[in-house]
Structure 1
Amino acid sequence: MTCGGDSLNVLLIGDFNARVGDEEGDVNNLAGIERNSKDNVRNANGYKLIELCNSFGLKLLNGTSRGDQNGEFTFVGGQGSSVIDYCFIGCEWNNHVVDFEVLNEPFSDHMPIVVSFNHSEVANVTTTNMELLPKIVWHSSNEHSYKANLDEALQNHEVANFNDLEEIIKQNFGSNIKRDIQVPPNFQEPILDSPITIQEVSSIVNGLKDGKAAGSDRIPAEFYKYGSNNLIQTLTGLINSVMENGVIPEQFKEALMFPIYKKGCAMNPANYRVLQNRLKMWISSKNLLSEFQAGFRSGYSTIDHIFVFKSIADLQEVKSCMSSSWILKQRSTRSTEMP
């Protein structure tokens, strides 16, 4: 069962031939949900199943619902009982689940599992599909002529906003955009609030990768990356205008998003890593991170921590052995001195 074309809006139910014990999974852990199970055994298939659950942000219902508080056995056979039948749901379906229970029926060694949904809420889920237009094709052979034409257009036309700039790049001139969202700054910080420089914009633009997807304007990165210096100057001016006026252009509110994540619920912002150059620079200037924080930091490595930890452990082991040897030697000396 799917909803809205989103692979996370699923109900996955059946016999998985896997035993996960009382493992909760990342989604349950993040939500602070304690899971119970009468089957405490975990096998290889169980580990793989939990890894799959974490990778796709699926929540395990067994042992977490009102109707299955104890985590009842789902398989009862002549050689024993176990939990191998499960129900997983995408995180967006969590609010629609009313209950989950394992029925005690004699007609099969696999007990039926029943999931109840609030049908009215599920029926009201709607989707909006945005037309994905093909991006403008970039030809590297046209780089020089593109720069020349771009310079001429920038000199002959006033660029008041990002929409104007996009139209110039696409060689279509015109329409203004509406700006109606005011974003006043919450605090003043020189590193964060000083005007954006041409060097900053140039560095970011030059770091853009070729051949990537375009946004709703259909302009891929190459048209900015291989543009002229005038383009970078114009782009810098527009960005600074946004900062000074505190007004967000309409284009900044639109995005074609195909989220890729490692594990957990895709609706949870904690599962996404956001690192911006200025934010990192500000954190560094304020010394907000300890020197012992090595994870996800450029120029740092957890290998150093592992080395220090191992060295301490080895030293502790040596000291322990030396102490044991000294005690044994003292006992041996005392025993030889006894009459």
Structure 2
Amino acid sequence: MMIVKLKFEETLAYIIPTYINCNNWDADFKNLSDVLFEFGCENILVVGDCNARIGKEQCLEFNPTLLASGLSAQRKAMDNKVDRNGRRLLEICNTVSLTVLNGRCEGDKDGKHKFHRGTIATTIDYGLGAGIWLNRIKNFEVQDFIYSDHQPITVSVHAGKNISEENSGLQLLPKLYWNKRIEKIYNLTLNQQIIEVNRATICSTNGIEFLMDCINNAAKPLQQKQKTGVKQNQWFDSECKILGDTSFRWLRRVKKTGLKEDMTNYSQANKRFKELLQHKRATYYNELAISIATVKDSKSFWGKVRKLNGTSHIKNAKLDALELSKHFERILNNSIHNESLSYEMPIREMSELDTTITVAEVKKILHKCKDNKAPGEDRVPMEFLKYASDLFIENMTASFNYIYNSGNVPDSFRKSIIFPLYKKSDTKNPENYRGISFNNAIAKVFASILNERLQEWLITMHC
């Protein structure tokens, strides 16, 4: 049985995800009981499918902890039945001081049904809390969900000042998302930002930082809220959405009225919806498998294979973040000390390499840059530079020339996000991963300009 450990400030707390199989209920329930008896910690939250019905039982009028937490002492429940499994669940709850959260928390004051199948609506999914969890529960909400007979339970908690987690690290800034539709208003706002910045500031050590601030100030107000939750499959089309919305409407009506007629309508609508999903999915993957035979290049072939097989990420790899960080630090920062550099005397100047960087050079590089590439630590994708206004590119060129002539490279050019890519063998061993670096887009543009100059010079010199 999996147990999740959290730390609220200095207090340890635990979450036990639970599924008690109705076909093996006694054995599964015994396993849960043994864990609760042997665990020896009062700060426990049990959440999951218990396949038990407890009605409105467990009134805790004289529980001072519960009263102090603001939770209701008397539970409410739309499902009034108490069955044999429910009585045993209540017995273990009372024995180890677990409080049933259903029907007494904000978000579920009425004790909504958690299970809908056909004309049957019951509650068999529960949240059971003790100790610190009773004071931390902020919201206990039953979500609308038509893809399963069980309705998801969302438990929100007050985190406090700090939550300490194993393998914690620095949080990345939110990624900016480019959309061609925002290009015009983005550039108007960007120009206003640039005009307010002194040219001397651009041509200084902090020039790149000011330019990126201008991009963020212009782009962030234009960001649309990214959709979260269940990601729709490519075969999920408008027809699926219409039937899904219909099923959702009947589900909400069932929860509101509880009428048998509404339950029947919901059951029929949900059945049609699931049959359509099954048909769409089968058709999509059959057509995709057939299309693999017609591809003309390896890129298209592997793209279709990935669609067919799904994600290739390594799941459940218990890899320590600190060890992984030390591994990459060790292989990327070798302690090699070079002697002081010596130059050929007299120093030779090459106009092809030493000349001022031009706006034309920058635009040429930007034109070659590809869209939809992962950003670096600043979380600004290449599109925000590639499609920026001429005024911004002119100022970026001036900042590049300051860096080139002074030799003062911004700290941000030295930083990157390293993504560990699994190679082989033991997934817990950091040595079995190689790193892919994601550099800031503006640093890549500057490096590409230097690379382009060197390549052209070598061709000219017939090297």
TM-score range, shorter chain: 0.3 to 0.5
- Tell me the TM-score normalized by structure 2: 0.24
Higher relative contact order, chain-length normalized (CA < 8 Å, sep 6+): 1
- Tell me the TM-score normalized by structure 1: 0.33
Higher helix share: 2
